[in-house]
Amino acid sequence: MAKKYEFDYDLIVIGSGAGGSAAATIAVREGKRVAIIESGSFGGESPNWSDIPTKALLHAANLYDEARHGSRFGLRSSTLGYNYPSLRSWKELAVKRTGAGGNRKYYENQGIDTFIGLAHFLSPNEISVSRRHLSSSNFLIASGAKWIIPEIPGLETMKYLTPRTILETIRPPKSLLIIGGGDTGIEIAQLMAIFGTKVFIVEQASRLLPHHDIEIGELIERVLREQKGVTALTHSRVLSVEKDGLSKRVIISQAGTEKSVKVDEVLVAAGRAPNVDLGLENAGVKYTAKGIKVNNYLQTNIKHIFAAGEVLGQNSYTHTALLESQIVANNIFEKTKIEPDYTATTEVIFTNPGIATVGLSEDDCLKRDLPINKAIAPLSIIARSNTSDFRDGFVKIITDKKGVIIGASIVAPHAGEIIHELALAVKHGLTAYQVAETPHAFLSWSEAVRVAASKLSNT
């Protein structure tokens, strides 16, 4: 006699991005009945609209930029050009190769049922999607987040760009104003500036990248201004946007003074809001507009409903969402509950120079009244800066008073690769002395890590 189930599924995952995919695949491999609901493109934001396509374009842009400035090495590259439709084709090939974008069949081949549409809770164990009712003994909400469109007079009456739609433009705009000087705004600013766009960035804070230490924002602003012609309007906010012929006139207040900028396009990159419009009140799940509330095990106040990724309202990265998804799979189906360890979570911004951080920033330490030691090694101190003719950057290491590394930031070529040595140090409580004593290959950028650590070894 066939086994009777109380519910249709053992686990329903809402969202097929990084926060949902790992839990779904782990559960189905353990013989559980699993369904995934996706309201947009399967694979979620990272492979379809953000990480993969943006970094593919940035790679091509930086290659073009390096070659264009090759005359200092004796290269004849002044006649170099680009074909933007071909660049877009490259971006689409990179997305296709990765295989995570639009990957509905991947889930179905594993035995996961897939549904397209908006999920809406009817009760703690039931949801509706595209007029179908589904029930499950467990849920994982990994519905992600969307770009916030600020309430700026005039903006709603005209076409504007988002970090998603700018990747689909036929050619780079002649001029572009970016609202928001955070990670994404900075990457897009550099990308477009390399391809000839005159870029303005409006940021309310006193510096670009306000969530990072001051040295990072100041250096990147200088590099963007001096090398790419980008104008950073800090201490500024957009008051209104109006049509001006075929262009757009943006009225800005900068430290109390009004000014206007005329541009072809406006791009909104001023933060993201979690997708919580899921009928959560019908399930009794506690949430706010800033995200779903969870405990240390990523469990909501309703014990069989979990949440992971950007819907939690934190600054979530793809690798963080994947970690949380794996944790949720464990905590639903295993007796021993585990907590995610965010101690050594790295953050990388793929500009050139790259930016990578791990652990506590100096600002974090100040807010917590933590006594620290710090050291900065400018890239110009190591031989590689001479052979590559690149000096804009540094390695900064922060230790506690015992010399244990608690945070680090790197601004350098390949910063995203270099940071993991310091992530390992943060995770396992290594001292600056231990890092400094580790041999670092001559003529690698990582020598700057050794120099910064050496400075702290003597304190």
- Which domains are assigned to the chain? 11-44+101-147+273-333 (3.50.50.60), 51-91 (no CATH), 155-270 (3.50.50.60), 346-457 (3.30.390.30)
Collapsed DSSP state (helix, strand, coil) of residue 200 = strand
* Helices 447-457 and 415-428: angle between axes, nearest 10 degrees: 40
pLDDT of residue 2: 54
- Is the model's pLDDT at 247 over the cut of 80? yes
pLDDT (tens digit per residue) in 219-244: 999 999 999 999 999 999 999 999 99
User: Around Cβ 289, how many Cβ atoms within 10 Å?
Assistant: 8
Q: How many CB atoms lie within 10 A of CB 455?
A: 17
Sequence-distant (6+) residues with CB within 8 A of 15 are 36, 37, 38, 39, 44, 141, 142, 143, 144, 309, 311
Return the closest-CA partner of residue 107 out of 48, 27, 5.
27
> For the segment 200-221, what is each residue's pLDDT rounded down to a tens digit?
999 999 999 999 999 999 999 9
Reported pTM:
0.94
pLDDT in tens, 391-434: 999 999 999 999 999 999 999 999 999 999 999 999 999 999 99
pLDDT for residue 45 is more than 70: yes
Tokens 């991005």 map to which residue?
A: 17
Residue 146 has a pLDDT of: 94
Say yes or no to pLDDT of 336 above 80: yes
User: Residue range 235-261: average pLDDT?
Assistant: 95
